[in-house]
Amino acid sequence: MQEIYLDNSATTRPYDEVIELMARVMRTGYGNPSSNHAKGMEAEKIVREAREALARALGCRVEEIMFTSGGTESNNQAIKGAAYRHRRRGNHIITSAIEHPSVLNCCRRLEEEGFKVTYVPVDSEGYILVEELARALSAQTILVSLAHVNNEIGTIQPLDQIGPMIKKNNPQTLFHVDGAQALAKVPVELDRWQADLYSCSAHKIHGPKGVGALWIKANTMLQPLLEGGGQEGGLRSGTENVPGIAGFGLAVRRSVKLMQANNDLMYGLKERLLQGLQKAGVTVSVNGPPPRRSAPHLLNLCFPGIKADILLRALEQEGIYASAGSACHSRHPQPSHVLQATGLDEDMIAASLRFSFSGLNSVAEIDTVVKQIVKSVTELRQILP
C-alpha cells in the first residue's frame, strides 16, 4: 500500500542528500571538534559550515548561532536562560495561550519559581490579541516569547507589528520567537521583528531529529542551562552532534532554496484538499485563518459530528497519516489547548484533524486523500446518529 504522509508538522522525512551527508560524516568525519589534531579540525570545519548555512538562512552573524539538541532545548534555553539571567531587572514574562508545550511548560515552571507569567489570549483564528499584549507589557517584563507559526492551526503572527511594540515599551525586554514551524516556510526577518532570540529544529525541515539551533542576537546575555566543556561559546556544553549538525546545515540550505516552490505547491495542495471535500459535499470547516493566510503546510479541519480519532484510524487503514493535534499530546489525548483558546467547543475540537504537508507531497496524493476522506466520512455519518 502506498503511504501518504500528511503529518509534517510532527516531523518530516529527511532529504536523501541529508541522509547521505550524515552517513558520510559518521563514517569519516568522526573527530571531536574540540580536539587539536587533523581529525578534530575536520569535524570543526563541518560544524562551521553548517553554522554558516544557518546564519545565511536566518540572515544573522555566524557567531550568533548556537546548536542544540532540538526545538525543545532551544526554547528552554531561551526562556529559562533569559529569565534566570535577567531576574534582577524584573520577574515578568509574556507568552500566548497557544504556545507549544516546550514554551508553555517552561513558563509554568518559572511561575513555580516565582516569576509572573501573562498568557495572552488569541482570537478565533489564533491571532494574538495585540492590545492585550500591549496592556500586559510593563517595566517588569523581561521576556516575551511567541511562536511565529502555530503548530496546530498555522496562524502566522504579525511579528513585525508585535516586536517593535515590545521594544517601544521597553528596549530591554527580550523578544524570543519560536520558529520551529516557521523556518523555511515563512520568511525570517529578525531585524524587522526586532527579535533577540529565535528557536528552530532540524527535523521539521527534512533534517535529522535531535538537532536544533538557537539564534542569540549579539550581546544578548543568557544563563547557560548546561555546564561542561564550554562548547558553543560556553553557552551549550557537550560534544557537538557533528553528523546531525551537518545534516541540519544541508537541510536548511535545501529547504530555504526550495521555499518558494514548496510553498506554492503546499498552498495548492491545501486548497485542493479543502475544495475537493467541499465539492464532494462533505461538511467541513477550517480551524485557524483561511488557508491562504495560514502557514503553507498546515490545514486544521473540523468535520462536525465525526470523531477525529475514528476518522484518523480509518485513514490510517488506507496508509494516510495525519494527526488529531500536536504529536506531543497524541499519546495522552486531551482537548487541544490551541483549539480551546480559539474558542472552539469540545465537540468541534473532538472532530478536528490536522493535515500537514511538505514539499514531498503531490497532487495525486491529495486526490487519493480526498477520496478516502469522503468515503470514510460518508460511512461514519451513516453509522453515527
Ligand X SMILES: Cc1ncc(COP(=O)(O)O)c(C=O)c1O
**Residue number, 141 or 326, with CB nearest to another protein:** 326
Segment lying near ligand X (by CB under 6 A), choices 23-31, 107-115, 156-164, 174-182: 174-182
Is residue 83 within 8 Å of 93, Cβ to Cβ?
Answer: yes
Q: Write the CA distances from 155 to 124, 158, 186, integer angstroms.
A: 10, 9, 11
Looking at beta carbons only, is 122 or 306 nearer to ligand X? 122
Applying the rule CB under 6 A, the residues between 225 and 264 that interact with ligand X are 229, 238-239
Please identify which residue in 8, 12, 72, 255 interacts with ligand X, judged by CB under 6 A: 72
HSE (side-chain half, CA atoms, 13 Å) at 170: 19
Shorter beta-carbon distance to ligand X: residue 212 or 359: 212
Which residues, 314 to 373, sit near ligand X by CB under 6 A? none
Select the binding partner of residue 147 from ligand X, another protein, none (C-beta < 5 to 8 A, by kind). Answer: ligand X
Which of these ranges, 52-60, 69-77, 252-260, 357-365, lies near ligand X under the rule CB under 6 A? 69-77
Which does residue 218 touch among another protein, ligand X, none (CB within 5 to 8 A, set by kind)? none
User: Considering 107, 200, 302, 328, which one is annotated as catalytic?
Assistant: 328
Strand partners, 270: none
Helix, strand, coil percentages, rounded to 5, for the chain: 45, 15, 40
Contact assessment for residue 14 and residue 208, using Cβ atoms and an 8 Å cutoff: yes
What is the total residue count of the chain? 385
| Choices 119-127, 157-165, 177-185, 307-315; region in contact with ligand X by CB under 6 A | 177-185
Compute the least distance from the CB of residue 100 to ligand X, in Å: 4
List, as own/partner pairs, every contact residues 349-352 make where C-beta atoms lie below 8 angstroms and the sequence separation is at least 24, other chains included. 350/307, 350/308, 351/302, 351/303, 351/304, 351/305, 351/306, 351/307, 351/308, 352/287, 352/300, 352/301, 352/302, 352/303, 352/308, 352/324, 352/325
194: partner contacted, choices ligand X, another protein, none (Cβ within 5-8 A by kind): none
Residue 122 and residue 180: Cα distance in Å, rounded?
20
CA distance 330 to 218: 38
Question: Helix and strand tally (H, E) in the chain?
Answer: 14, 12
* Strand (E) or helix (H) holding 58: helix 38-58
Residue 38 interface partner, choices another protein, ligand X, none, CB cut-off 5-8 Å depending on type: another protein
Contact call for residue 12 and ligand X (CB under 6 A): no
Among 94, 104, 180, 350, binds ligand X (CB under 6 A): 180
Contacting ligand X (CB under 6 A), which of 7, 44, 64, 178? 178
Q: Are 363 and 17 in contact (CB under 8 A)?
A: no
Name the residue among 382, 285, 273, 363 with its Cα closest to residue 322.
Answer: 273
Is 328 one of the catalytic residues? yes
Q: Of these partners, ligand X, another protein, none, which one is at the site of residue 294 (CB under 5 to 8 Å by kind)?
A: none
Contact code string over 133-152 relative to ligand X, x by CB under 6 A: --------------x---x-
Site for ligand X contains 71 (CB under 6 A): yes
Active site positions, annotated = 328
Binding site for ligand X (CB under 6 A): 70-72, 75, 100, 102, 147, 151, 178, 180-181, 201, 203, 212, 229, 238-239
